[in-house]
Amino acid sequence: MRVLGIESSCDETALAIVEKNNGRFLVVKNVVASQIALHSKYGGVVPEIAARSHVDAIFPLLKEAGIPHDGYGIDAIAVTVGPGLVPALRVGVELAKALAWCWEKPLVAVNHLEGHLSSVWLAEGEFPKFPALALLVSGGHTELILMCEHGTYELAGMTRDDAVGEAFDKVAKLLGLPYPGGPSVSHEAEKGNPEAVAFPRPMLKSRDFDFSFSGLKTAVAVYCRESARTTNIVQSGGHPGTFVQDICASFQQAVVDVLVLKTLAAIERFAPASVLLAGGVSANTLLRCTLQNTVAKAYPDISFHIPPLEYTTDNAAMIAVAGIFRAEKKDFTDPLRLVADPNLAL
């Protein structure tokens, strides 16, 4: 089965063709038009700019991906319908509806979060076994999810305020580092001392699987304010100094400690057969390595799965994989009725 995936929920316009062959997923085409440069001067995504850029980018991307004009060879179209920014989502959704209508091909509505979870199936090696426990960490979500099978989810815990990616982005802004914050904070963290500042590990003692990151972000802000060097956060040459690097390393360590310990507690409680890590923040090297090593050491019988690095942040290959799982169940949607849903739940 060959599926065209379409993604436009936030600041990446993306198209992909994924083929399922002998049980494995082969990415035939994968193109992404990133809007990072457009949003970076605002320190975050501006919905109206995102929507206009999706419109500008999506047809050139169709051409770049070499999508046949008549849809030849494509068995279904999968599109992100939510959650996300509604003006952005609508660009992908309306294109998907038009193509499904013209080509007379089935249309699959995909939840963006289900797409992130499905990105793990793009990795080499054994597929995850069910029941699986997934730590989903992105710019808008921080959730521990139990997966009994594809399409069946139970929310074990979630953030009560900021998502972890959002916390990275806000801390970066505070420190004068470029958007998006995750890559820039983790880059500076490599040169810093993770024990330099004792930032809090929020919610570690709560008896549930929820998270909270807004207090940690505030702790970074307060630390900066109270420090004598606040005015010298970014050195005169524009390069962050040791002060910033130590804050980044200490903040990142606090985040990773919380994510890993909460996931371990959820493993203890739900005894899954496998553990998944997905979402944009799963690009974080410290998180990938620490969670993998900790799970392997504490639970050698539980397999651990992460997406390949290039499919951690938003892309359409993951949407196509999720689309294949739904298409196999004939879970199609009517192109005349499909509407984007900014608050779509899993």
> How far separated are the first and last CA of the chain, in Å rounded?
24
By C-beta, is 109 or 220 nearer to Zn ion?
109
- Rounded to the nearest angstrom, the gap between the alpha carbon of residue 90 and the centroid of all alpha carbons in its chain is 19
Task: Give residue 211's identity as a one-letter amino acid code.
Answer: F
- DSSP one-letter string for 288-319: HHHHHHHHHHH-TTSEEE---GGGTSS-SHHH
Could you say which of 180, 240, 323, 335 contacts ligand KG4 (CB under 6 A)? 180
The identity of residue 176, as a single letter, is: G
Q: Which stretch binds ligand KG4 (CB under 6 A): 60-68, 117-125, 176-184, 199-207?
A: 176-184
CB of 105 to ligand KG4, least distance (A): 26
Task: Return the ∠ at Cα 103 (arms to 102 and 107), rounded to 5°.
Answer: 95
SS3 324: helix
Query: Which of 168, 325 has the CB closer to ligand KG4?
Result: 168
> Which residue of 186, 245, 253, 263 would you call a contact of ligand KG4, by CB under 6 A?
186
Out of 314, 317, 322, 327, the only residue in the binding site for ligand KG4 (CB under 6 A) is 314
Q: Which of 43, 92, 140, 335 binds ligand KG4 (CB under 6 A)?
A: 140
Residues lying near Zn ion in the complex (CB under 5 A) are found at 138, 314
Are the beta carbons of 332 and 76 closer than 8 angstroms?
yes
Q: How many CB atoms lie within 10 A of CB 261?
A: 14
C-alpha to C-alpha distance for 123 and 295, rounded to whole angstroms: 18
Instruction: Supply 241's token pair.
Output: 């100094």
* One of 5, 194, 280, 335 touching ligand KG4 (CB under 6 A): 280
Task: CB nearer to Zn ion: give 105 or 112.
Answer: 112
> Is 272 one of the binding residues for ligand KG4 (CB under 6 A)?
no
Restricting to residues 199-258, which ones interact with ligand KG4 according to CB under 6 A?
none
169 part of the interface to ligand KG4, by CB under 6 A: yes
* Contact present, 144 and 159 (Cβ < 8 Å): no
Closer residue to Zn ion (CB): 157 or 180: 180
Residue 120: how many CA atoms within 13 Å on its side-chain side? 28
74 vs 281, which CB is nearer to ligand KG4? 281
| Per-residue contact flags (x/-) with ligand KG4 for residues 104 to 133, judged by CB under 6 A | ------------------------------
Residue type, 61: L
- Collapsing DSSP to helix, strand or coil, 25 comes out as strand
* Beta strand 142-149 pairing with 2-7: unpaired
Q: What stretches of 78-163 show up as alpha helix (H) in DSSP? A: 86-103, 112-118
Q: Which is nearer to ligand KG4, 186 or 274 (CB)?
A: 186
- Asked if 138 interacts with ligand KG4 (CB under 6 A), we say yes
Among 121, 168, 211, 251, binds ligand KG4 (CB under 6 A): 168
Does residue 281 touch ligand KG4 according to CB under 6 A?
A: yes
> Which one of residues 182, 194, 202, 323 is an interface residue with ligand KG4 (CB under 6 A)?
182
Could you give the C-alpha distances from 113 to 119, 135, 163, in angstroms and in order?
10, 11, 13
Residue 181 binds which entry of ligand KG4, Zn ion, none, CB below 5-8 Å type-dependent: ligand KG4
Stretch that binds ligand KG4, among 24-32, 182-190, 239-247, 263-271 (CB under 6 A): 182-190
In single-letter form, the type of residue at position 47 comes to P
Tell me which residues touch ligand KG4 (CB under 6 A).
Answer: 10, 138-140, 165-166, 168-169, 180-183, 186, 279-281, 283-284, 313-314
